[in-house]
């Protein structure tokens, strides 16, 4: 059995090595470090483990005649031609929810950073576009910061299967103080999301709006966003994803408040969870009996995962709370790294490949909790929520 995997899936080789000691049939592993594996690697692959940067289409599948299994360590699937994969008889899996906590953390820390920089307390309404795993994680944390959160999701509203209350009132979104996008990239149908945000809507946002996109780059028409920012510099835009990534527009980069290289979901726990979940799915499909460690077991063996102790004799104000969050994840450091790098595709990919291990807000605990009344207990639970992966 020959496995081919993205080299940026953490501890993947170690996990495969554990399987090799338990299984009777031989397993070999190759890794690739560029966006696409080579033709020679694909020709040997029985199973392929990817991330969002690898595009799987008919051309790739033509180079992989032995491929029978494909897994992506992401919730998004727009980089995979699922029709072509199904036509080839290949089993396909994604990992919904695996990086939801990390993306939720990213949104909360981005908003906290903007608020601190502008000395503006978190108040008013926060619109979450897309009430899936990552949207709900972001919404919970923004509630913990002090926003009144609402979820815009017409498809879920129509299906009646939403896990939270959702609505289809776009005007509520446009008049919110914080807007955060958490939708898949779709180009057809009544709810297509490609260029969901164009100039007509962007220009209606209040000057002090915080606008976050940590979903897919083409959800926002970048030319329209650039035009809007050139006219109205007060709009606070946070972009983790870019329409033409890994190529960035230097003019747009200069005008957004926070810019990062598609790493919102890149906490160590989220990335380890992706490796683990894919291998668990592969074992189940192959009907192989082997034990993999749990995510807590894997995290316990790493340098990241220690509790951050914070101590206070009285309830924190919003500034103190924001500073505590940014001690766990310093989003400004990621912004600085991207701005210091050349605006080239290779530099963008290099930042993602060499991304440092990042903690999650679930590690934020208080050393003394005398001041934690019911309100603060609720806010902390919303900010530090831990869910199964």
Hey, how many other C-beta atoms are within 10 angstroms of the C-beta on 378? Answer: 13
In Å, how far from its chain's centre is CA 261?
11
Alpha carbon distance 88, 58 (integer Å): 9
Is-contact 187 194, C-beta < 8 A?
A: yes
Distance CA 179, CA 174 (A): 8
| 3-state helix/strand/coil string of the chain | CEEEEECCCCCHHHHHHHHHHHCCCCCEEEEECCCCCCHHHHHHCCEEEECCCCCECHHHHHCCCCCCEEEECCCCCCCECHHHHHHCCCEEECCCCCCHHHHHHHHHHHHHHHHHHHCCCCCCEEEEECCCHHHHHHHHHHHHHCCEEEEECHHHHHHCCCCCCEECCHHHHHCCCEEEECCCCCCCCCCCCCCCECHHHHCCCCCCCEEEECCCHHHECHHHHHHHHHHCCCCEEEECCCCCCCCCCHHHHHHCCEECCCCCCCCHHHHHHHHHHHHHHHHHHHCCCCCCCCHHHHHHCCCCCCCEEECCCCCCCHHHHHHHHHHHCCHHHHHHHHHHCCCCHHHHHHHHHCCCCCCCHHHEEECCCCCCCHHHHHHHHHHCCCCCC
Strands 236-239 and 69-72: unpaired
Selection from 323, 240, 306, 241 nearest residue 268 by Cα: 306
> CA 120, 121, 125, 130: dihedral to nearest 10 degrees?
80
Which residues carry out catalysis?
A: 216, 245, 262
């Amino acid at each position: 059995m020959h496995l081919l995997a993205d080299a940026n899936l953490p501890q993947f080789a170690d996990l495969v090595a554990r399987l090799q000691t338990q299984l009777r049939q031989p397993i070999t592993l190759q890794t690739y470090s560029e966006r696409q594996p080579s033709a020679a690697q694909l020709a040997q692959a029985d199973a392929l483990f990817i991330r969002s940067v690898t595009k799987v289409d008919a051309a790739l599948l033509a180079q992989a005649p032995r491929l029978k299994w494909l897994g992506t360590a992401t919730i998004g699937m727009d980089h995979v031609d699922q029709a072509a994969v199904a036509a080839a008889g290949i089993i396909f899996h994604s990992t919904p929810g695996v990086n939801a906590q990390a993306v939720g953390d990213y949104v909360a820390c981005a908003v906290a950073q903007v608020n601190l920089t502008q000395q503006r307390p978190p108040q008013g309404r926060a619109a979450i576009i897309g009430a899936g795993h990552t949207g709900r994680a972001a919404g919970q944390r923004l509630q913990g910061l002090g926003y009144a959160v609402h979820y815009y999701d017409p498809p879920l509203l129509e299906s009646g299967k939403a896990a939270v209350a959702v609505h289809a009132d776009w005007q509520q979104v446009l008049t919110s103080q914080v807007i955060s996008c958490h939708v898949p990239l779709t180009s057809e149908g009544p709810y297509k999301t490609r260029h969901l945000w164009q100039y007509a809507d962007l220009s209606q946002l209040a000057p002090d709006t915080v606008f976050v996109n940590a979903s897919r780059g083409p959800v926002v028409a970048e030319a329209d966003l650039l035009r809007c920012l050139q006219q109205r510099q007060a709009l606070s835009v946070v972009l983790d994803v870019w329409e033409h990534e890994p190529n960035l527009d230097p003019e747009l980069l200069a005008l957004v408040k926070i810019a990062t290289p598609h790493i919102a979901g890149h906490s160590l726990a989220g990335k380890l969870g992706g490796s683990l979940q894919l291998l668990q799915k592969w074992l189940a499909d192959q009907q192989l009996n082997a034990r993999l460690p749990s995510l807590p077991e894997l995290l316990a063996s790493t340098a990241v995962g220690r509790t951050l102790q914070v101590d206070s004799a009285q309830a924190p104000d919003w500034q103190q709370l924001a500073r505590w969050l940014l001690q766990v994840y310093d989003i400004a450091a990621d912004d600085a790294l991207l701005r210091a790098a050349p605006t080239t595709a290779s530099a963008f990919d290099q930042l993602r490949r060499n991304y440092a291990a990042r903690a999650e807000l679930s590690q934020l605990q208080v050393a003394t909790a005398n001041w934690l009344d019911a309100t603060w207990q609720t806010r902390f639970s919303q900010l530090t929520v831990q869910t199964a992966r």
